[in-house]
Amino acid sequence: MKSRPLVLSIVGARPQFVKLAPLAKALSRRFDHQVVHTGQHYDDNMSQVFFRQLNLPQPDYNLGVGGGTHGRMTGRMLTAIERVLIQHRPSLVLVFGDTNSTLAGALAAAKMDIPVGHIEAGMRSFVRAMPEEINRRLTDHLAELSFCSTITAMKNLRSEGITKGLVHSGDLMYELLHDLKPKIRRNRQLLSQYNVEPGKYLFLTAHRAANVDDPGNLSKLASILEMLPLPTVFPVHPRTKGRLRRARLWQGLQRQPNLRLTEPTGYLETLSLACHAQVVLTDSGGLQKEAICLGVPVLTLREETEWVETLRRGNCLVGLDVKKIMRSLRRERRVRPIPFRIRNRRPSEIIAVAISRYLGAR
Ligand code: UD1
């Protein structure tokens, strides 16, 4: 029997597990599919909980490379991924989004002349200081197949001279959310756990380096948290918690009666909490889109977004500007979700078929 081509997916951080979930099924119908987890996210509530809730195949390898500086983390990943690639020689390596795991995976494969497919290619914030912007630009220039969630992403790639291997695939996060939406909506039990009522609380997340590593911005974020006019559920990313503790801001926030600080929440809990909130406030790329998909207005705690399509549909950029935030919270906004199918096809199918064609033509 003819053996099937081996496709190897490299993931390491929460948003990548989410994107892999709908795709893994479509890939395993056509290819031998293996998953490498770099270990970038290693706490149970940042990693394993996603595998359990989303029925993801357990990783074939966990490289255990988490924490440390960007250079050290990326370098250790590069070495460890190369070892796996030498052993298996996959027909294609898939990388997702814009984390250090993405860049390390793409670089290790490209150096070995193994074709790279980049999921969520072409996203740009045009802010060079953002670690993610560096990761995604370099990955895009290493990839042979670029799977773009949006038309804007396709245009961004073309303007950088990347014209071959572009596929307008649509968004895997929307696909997953679309399938799980009824389950997510039904789950209201969590609200009583946090002592909040549907439509009468805010849901907030913040972990971007620009917001939490810069001491001035971190203290702005803390003041915002103290002034929010409604009960606010805030699952705190380990990076954010570490920075707040170090700046001696954590204890003060714990005493705020409106704030419900909690450990990072799993996929289903996060989306249920977002779904029943009056407004979502976030600096995450994924949650901006997910809130819109759930029909909930979102205030993005950044000055720019890669997801420009969401701006006309209920997403508003507020940075860390208290006045803007308070004003926007008072204003009612209509949310128009973005359809997830492209020409009536699922993103996961579009991607799997494009890989199949590409490998068939080689
Ligand atoms: C990374 C991505 C970011 C993505 C985010 C999703 C990069 C450059 N950034 O940021 O694009 O939006 O993931 O969450 O790759 N930590 C733990 N436990 C964990 C994971 C992390 O304690 O399970 C700690 C790390 O040790 C580190 C800090 O949190 O001190 C930041 O983790 P890191 O993986 O470097 O980046 P993220 O902020 O999660």
Per-residue pLDDT band for 362 (boundaries 50, 70, 90) equals confident
Q: What is the mean pLDDT of residues 118-135?
A: 97
Question: What is the pLDDT at residue 340?
Answer: 87
* Ligand 1 center–CA 198 separation, angstroms: 30
Ligand 1 atom 15: residue of nearest CA: 99
Residue with tokens 């070495």: 79
Alpha-helical regions (H) of 116-171: 131-142, 151-159
- Report residue 26 as tokens: 């479509």
CA distance 174 to 169: 12
Task: State yes or no: pLDDT of 212 exceeds 70.
Answer: yes
Per-residue pLDDT band for 1 (boundaries 50, 70, 90) equals low
How many residues does the structure list for the chain?
362
* Count of beta carbons in the 10 Å neighbourhood of residue 192: 9
Ligand 1 atom 22: residue of nearest CA: 238
- The DSSP annotation for 185-204 comes to HH--HHHHHTT--TTSSEEE
* Ligand 1 center–CA 244 separation, angstroms: 15
CA distance 326 to 218: 18
User: Which residues are designated catalytic?
Assistant: 207
To test ligand 1's pocket by mutation, which of 18, 40, 43 has the most ligand atoms within 8 angstroms of CB? 40
Atom of ligand 1 nearest to the CA of 102: 15
CA distance 307 to 303: 12
Give per-residue pLDDT as tens, 134-163.
999 999 999 999 999 999 999 999 999 999
Ligand 1 atom 25: residue of nearest CA: 67
Q: Answer for the pair 11, 206: CB distance below 8 angstroms, yes or no.
A: no
Atom of ligand 1 nearest to the CA of 13: 13
Ligand 1 atom 21: residue of nearest CA: 41
Ligand 1 atom 19: residue of nearest CA: 41
Question: What is the pLDDT at residue 26?
Answer: 97
CA distance 341 to 325: 33
118-122, 166-170, 341-345: least confident range: 341-345
CA distance 310 to 152: 12
Atom of ligand 1 nearest to the CA of 135: 8
Give 199's Cβ-side CA count (13 Å radius).
2
* Ligand 1 center–CA 213 separation, angstroms: 12
Ligand 1 atom 5: residue of nearest CA: 13
Which residues does ligand 1 sit against, CB inside 6 Å?
13-15, 40-43, 46, 66-67, 98-100, 131-132, 207, 238-239
* Ligand 1 center–CA 191 separation, angstroms: 27
* Ligand 1 center–CA 239 separation, angstroms: 7
Give per-residue pLDDT as tens, 256-294.
999 999 999 999 999 999 999 999 999 999 999 999 999
To test ligand 1's pocket by mutation, which of 237, 265, 270, 289 has the most ligand atoms within 8 angstroms of CB? 237
Q: What is the mean pLDDT of residues 230-258?
A: 98
Residues 6+ apart with CB under 8 A from 164: 144
* Ligand 1 center–CA 13 separation, angstroms: 7
Q: Answer for the pair 254, 261: CB distance below 8 angstroms, yes or no.
A: yes
Atom of ligand 1 nearest to the CA of 237: 29
Q: What is the mean pLDDT of residues 19-38?
A: 98
If DSSP codes are grouped into helix, strand and coil, which group holds residue 118?
Answer: strand
Amino acid letter, 13: A
* Ligand 1 center–CA 41 separation, angstroms: 6
To test ligand 1's pocket by mutation, which of 14, 41, 43, 119 has the most ligand atoms within 8 angstroms of CB? 41
Atom of ligand 1 nearest to the CA of 46: 23
CA distance 222 to 225: 5
